[in-house]
Amino acid sequence: MQIKAAVVTGTNQLSIETIDLAPPQPTEVLIKLQAAGVCHSDLHTFRGELSVAPPLVLGHEGAGVVEAVGNAVTKLKPGDHVLVNWLPACEQCVHCLNGHYNLCERYGSTIYAGCLLDGTSRLHTQAGVPLKHYLGAATMAEYAVIDQASAIPIPADVPFEVAAIIGCAVATGVGAVVKTAQVAVGSSAAVIGCGGVGLSMLQGCRLAGCHPIIAIDVFDQKLDFARKMGATHTINARQQDVYETLRAITGIGPDAVFDSVGATGTISQALQGARPGGTAVIVGLHAANLEVPLPIASLIYDNKRLLGCFAGSIRPKVDLPILVELYRAGRLDLDPLISQRYALDQLPQAFADMEAGTVARGVITF
């Protein structure tokens, strides 16, 4: 079938074009996308800052309706509402058996290579050139073919826009707090960067019972979003001394500092900002291809912990449905996260707004 999709043909080369999508294989499903989140990872990939090389179809946050299923699919049927899980773990490798599904050994040859789980693609240009499925998902398109393991059923009363962002931004942000850091009730916490992931971290801190919850950014509008999402205090890093303000609020520094940016400066800021004996959790990928110097004295003399966090350390099949139910119960306030909606051909504007700090989370709607 022919579909409209966001295609990256080379570094900084993006077009919205009509391409060909092949039918699902036996263990795969065809999804009619209703919403796709706009994530910094998509922007990094478009700019050639991550390892997945074009040509490819962007998008890994998504939700929609099952239109067709392969003959070996047993738990999904046409008409089911699903969110896209871009981390379909094998559940058999040593990492999966130890509960680290976000580190599954098969991702390297499939998801990170832009393939489906059989190592192939269902996407081609109209000239017959194969296209990769970004992170095995390719959700910035009218339709997607994904493996059944990548489709998580959701109740019909969950908005597709919310379900889409649960698959990455919310899972990563909340997971960083409750899964990676495992913060204790009453812990003080700070979050650096108030985009979709950072705002989800604030939600995770509120869910975990943290106090105070401090948001740090350089855009006042993002700090306004942060106050709505659970921050008790805010710091504009361009106007205030971050370390002095953190100590003024907490006395000795936060118990945990979460870095949703992952830039050279913010990684050091997270580690130095945490109290002695505290924890810095690095989630963002801005410095993914760089060597980052660290303040070793702060790490060792102050007995701090520096943790990496990939995809919120989640177990997708278990934790994504839990996050959906927490939203339905009103424990996660996710509707305000979606501050702007775009048509697919407005993707360049969505990227520009994200960089300008004028959106919390942008979502493409179909």
Instruction: Report the alpha-carbon distance of residue 289 to residue 249 in Å, rounded.
Output: 34
Catalytic residue (one of 44, 95, 100, 124): 44
Is-catalytic flag, 96?
A: no
Catalytic status, residue 41: yes
Alpha helices in the chain (DSSP H): 40-46, 94-97, 160-165, 171-175, 196-208, 220-228, 242-250, 264-273, 296-301, 316-328, 347-356
Q: From edge to edge, which strands make up the β-sheet containing 279-282?
A: 233-236, 213-217, 189-192, 256-259, 279-282, 305-308
Fill in the amino acid letter for 10.
G
Amino acid of residue 232: T
Question: How far are the Cα atoms of 33, 145, 194, 292, 364 from residue 62, in angstroms, in the given order?
Answer: 7, 12, 21, 32, 9
Tokens at 303, concatenated: 């007995």
Query: Contact 133/73 with Cβ under 8 angstroms?
Result: no
Among the options 81, 133, 150, 168, which is catalytic? 168
Which of these, 143, 115, 130, lies nearest to 3 by C-alpha position? 143
Give dist(CA 271, CA 276) in Å, integer: 10
Q: Which of 351, 264, 282 is nearest to 44 (CA)?
A: 351
Contact 146, 29 (CB under 8 A): yes
Residue 277 neighbours by CB distance under 10 Å = 12
* Separation of alpha carbons 89 and 107, rounded Å: 8
DSSP secondary structure, 264-290, as one string: HHHHHHHHHHSPTT-EEEE---TTTTS
DSSP symbol at 24:
P
**CA–CA gap between residue 200 and residue 177 (Å, rounded):** 10
Catalytic choice (40, 60, 133, 286): 60
- For the question of residue 205 being annotated catalytic, the response is no
Instruction: Tell me 358's DSSP state.
Output: -
Measured CA angle at 298 (ends 293, 303), to 5 deg: 125
Residues in the chain: 366
Active site residues: 39, 41, 44, 60, 168
